[in-house]
Chains A and B, each alone.
Chain A
Amino acid sequence: MKNIFQQGRGKVVPTLFLMVLSIGLMVTDHRTAHLDVIRSAAAAMISPLQFLVSLPPQGGAWVGEWFRTHNRLVAENEGLRESNRMLNARLQKMEVLLEENTRLRNLLGSARKVADQVSVAELLSVDQNPYRQLIELNKGTLDGIVDGQAVIDEHGIMGQVIQSTPNTATVMLVSDPEHAIAVQFIKNGIRSIAFGNGSTDQLELRYLPVTADVMPGDELVTSGLGGRFPPDYPVATVTSVTLDPTDGFVSAIARPKASLDSSRQVLVIRPREITGRSE
Chain B
Amino acid sequence: MISYNLLVIPLTLVVGLVLQILPLPSEAQIYRPDWVALILLYWNMALPNRVGLWTAFLTGLLVDVAQGTLLGQHSLALLIIIFINLNFHLQVRVMNLGRQMFYVFSLLLINQFILVWIEGMLQREPSIMAYFGAPLTGMAIWPWIFILLRDIRRKAQIS
Contacts and interface: CB of A to CB of B under 8 A. Distances in A.
Interface in B78-114: 79-80, 83, 86-91
Contacts of A132: 68-69, 124
A11 B86 contact: yes
Nearest to A197: B125
A18 interface: yes
Interface in A169-227: 170, 177-178, 198
Interface in A35-75: 35, 38-39, 42-43, 45-46, 49-50, 52-54, 57
Contact of A126 (B23, B48, B86, B126): B23
Given A22-B72, A127-B23, A11 B83 contact: yes
Contact of B80 (A19, A52, A177): A19
B73 A26 contact: yes
B126 A49 contact: no
The 7 closest A-B pairs by CB, nearest first: A8-B87, A25-B72, A22-B72, A8-B86, A131-B124, A22-B76, A26-B72
Interface residues of B, number: 48
Interface stretch (B33-41, B56-64, B138-146, B149-157): B56-64
Residue in A23, A43, A49, A129 whose Cβ sees the most chain B Cβ within 10 Å: A129
B62 A7 contact: no
Interface string A13-26: 01100110111111
Nearest to B126: A131
Contact of B71 (A9, A15, A35, A45): A35
Interface of B: 14, 17-18, 21-24, 26, 29-30, 32, 48, 52-54, 56-57, 60-62, 65-73, 75-76, 79-80, 83, 86-91, 118-119, 122-126, 130
A130 B23 CA distance: 11
B151 to A, nearest CB: 24
Interface string A121-140: 00001111111101000000
B133 to A, nearest CB: 10
B86 A7 contact: yes
A154 interface: no
B34 to A, nearest CB: 12
A126 B21 contact: yes
A277 interface: no
A191 to B, nearest CB: 25
8 contacts: A15-B83, A26-B71, A26-B76, A46-B62, A53-B21, A53-B23, A177-B124, A198-B124
A43 to B, nearest CB: 5
A21 B54 CA distance: 12
B125 to A, nearest CB: 7
Nearest to B67: A129
Contacts of B29: 127, 130
A41 to B, nearest CB: 9
B123 A4 contact: no
B79 A38 contact: no
